[in-house]
Chain A
């Protein structure tokens, strides 16, 4: 497999869209290149939930996956395809930085492209946001689109 894979992390924001534009432009230049579009729903198996939330969890998860596919992934895939790229879109639950890094390894990706997200709260100001952690942990080059 000589094909190059680019991973694009989307978060539903404009920066995410710019990241996708950037990746499609690069993919066309590379030629034999496929794009993997990823949307991660923030979730931790170690959070605390009430019994009622647990009961409904399976249904909620299906709903979250469906919405993410409909609203984020499908439009993005359609857009990239219309540009003539080979694209695949997936939605995952978990930690954004961790999942992007694992997918990069799994698909032997040559780089990860993400949009820059501002620090949203005190915790992120102190410990760094998703982008910061991704940059710190990643095994492949990262392009951050402002």
Chain B
């Protein structure tokens, strides 16, 4: 909704050039916003367009339908191969001779650090705040279905990666689009790949960068009071620069250790709150199931819960977007299917576990105001969301919910948000770089140009209130899904062949666990 208001305002500003010129104080932000909204608004509107007569964005349906098709086509692979996925991550099937190569665990955690982030903290609060606890049910369903999309794209990512003479590897949708389409004798692979790469660069600079910097700054100022975003952006840019250009390993390795620690801490804090309120868990699940089908009086009722749940799951775990295929493709394995199987754990951890924790804590904490007489939720004055005890929403709502358990938790959450934002930026700088080098060729200079642009956009993102720019880059990430899933439909028979062959050999014992010796 905000998106349309922003573009509406921007259009009004364009119509009044004299007024815009007179207000120097807002001129830069405003100009950038205006130019963007004017030239890209149609694209944003197209991507987030609602299905006729509903408030259900077609792009969410696109992602959910694809996930359902993959689930059925691959015979519920996410449930059948779940145990095998854990076995692979533990290294049971890794050849000891390959010790020192990228393990399944490393490929999985690298990809996870790109997806676990603001979506799990802020996105869930938005979903539950608007759609009620019932949204959680649909979120879990969407997360479970999304596992099949990840399986498909990551298997292809590994199968069609490029391996270079110097031993490095590059993979991702660009490569399976070109090579996979060629293999199947289909035209247009190269065109799809180029379009995908362009969207990926847009998504990397926007959703993977400016949006993160912007939200991190907002979270910091909530605690410290207002100060210039240039400072936050500048610091972020310098640190990211040191990591991606300077190759300062120590910073990267600190985040590598701290981010998973933060993730675990978040889940543990949620668990403690849930254990303390163990008697209410049954009630909370009751709310989730009842709300999933009746809506319990929330905005939009049952449909509202469904839309919010699906939307947030899709936004959080990126299943079908194609980004994960880039991250997973560096693994050392002879069987592409193994990485596909491992990758299906990603939406599970991201959505089914972490998002559900957040949702349960919000539900149990009582920050959502309920009418004791009817058992239904009370809507806020605007009537578009559930009334909360302190009127907050988004990250602030999650923060308030956790604060009912631990009063100091908001500080930890702020640190977590900053670190998650940082790790998401590092991940997306890599996705963007891969798309960039796909378009412009590999080489020190071309890579450096992209990295500098990336760092510059961090400052822009933190300093400016560029609503239209951020909307545009969000739209870019979902545009990636349009191209990627189109390609997945054409290439899924290849994945099926690989899958049948692999699980066949697993059954006959041709592929077996390595014994623990050397």
Taking Cβ atoms with an 8 Å cutoff, the residues of A that contact B are: 41, 43, 45-59, 61-62, 64-65, 92-94, 99, 102-103, 105-106
Contact = CB atoms under 8 A, between A and B. Distances in A.
A45 B91 contact: yes
B452 interface: no
B166 interface: yes
B256 interface: yes
Residue among A54, A59, A62 having the largest count of chain B Cβ atoms under 10 Å: A54
B102 A54 contact: yes
Interface residues of B, number: 39
A44 to B, nearest CB: 9
Nearest to A53: B252
Contacts of B110: 48-51, 54
A48 B114 CA distance: 13
Contacts of A58: 101-102, 167-169, 332
Contact of A59 (B168, B256, B260, B431): B168
A48 B106 contact: yes
Contact of B106 (A41, A54, A64): A54
B120 interface: no
Residue among B167, B243, B426 having the largest count of chain A Cβ atoms under 10 Å: B167
Contacts of B332: 57-58
Closest 3 A-B residue pairs measured CB to CB?
A93-B100, A59-B167, A45-B103
A103 B102 CA distance: 23
13 contacts: A45-B106, A46-B103, A48-B113, A50-B243, A50-B426, A51-B430, A51-B431, A54-B327, A55-B169, A58-B168, A61-B100, A93-B100, A106-B517
A52 B433 CA distance: 10
Interface in B133-149: none
Interface string B386-406: 000000000000000000000
B99 A92 contact: yes
Contacts of A92: 99, 518
B455 to A, nearest CB: 15
Contacts, number: 93
B426 to A, nearest CB: 6
Contact of B326 (A48, A51, A94): A51
Given A55-B169, A106-B518, A49 B100 contact: no
Contacts of A56: 167-168
Given A50-B252, A50-B256, A64-B100, 16 more contacts: A45-B91, A48-B259, A49-B102, A50-B430, A51-B427, A52-B430, A54-B330, A58-B167, A59-B166, A59-B168, A92-B99, A93-B100, A94-B99, A99-B518, A105-B517, A106-B517
A99 B110 CA distance: 26
Contact of A57 (B102, B259, B327): B102
B94 interface: yes
Contacts of A54: 102, 106-107, 110, 327, 330-331
Residue among B94, B256, B260, B518 having the largest count of chain A Cβ atoms under 10 Å: B518
B204 to A, nearest CB: 12
Contact of A43 (B100, B259, B430): B100
B109 interface: yes
B257 interface: yes
A55 to B, nearest CB: 5
A130 B109 CA distance: 27
Contacts of A99: 518
Nearest to B256: A48
A27 B100 CA distance: 31
Contacts of A57: 100-102, 330, 332
Nearest to B260: A48
B439 to A, nearest CB: 18
Residue among A45, A61, A92, A105 having the largest count of chain B Cβ atoms under 10 Å: A45
A55 B170 contact: yes
B289 interface: no
Contacts of B330: 51, 54-55, 57
A45 B257 CA distance: 14
Contacts of B166: 59
Contacts of B109: 48-49
A41 B430 CA distance: 27
A46 B517 contact: no
B105 interface: yes
Contacts of A53: 252
Nearest to A103: B518
A107 to B, nearest CB: 9
A102 B517 contact: yes
Nearest to B427: A51
Contacts of A102: 516-518
A62 B332 CA distance: 13
Contacts of B243: 50
Contacts of B327: 51, 54
Nearest to B109: A48
Nearest to A57: B102
Residue among A47, A50, A52, A62 having the largest count of chain B Cβ atoms under 10 Å: A50
Contacts of A59: 166-168
Contacts of A43: 99-100
Contacts of B168: 55-56, 58-59
Nearest to B433: A52
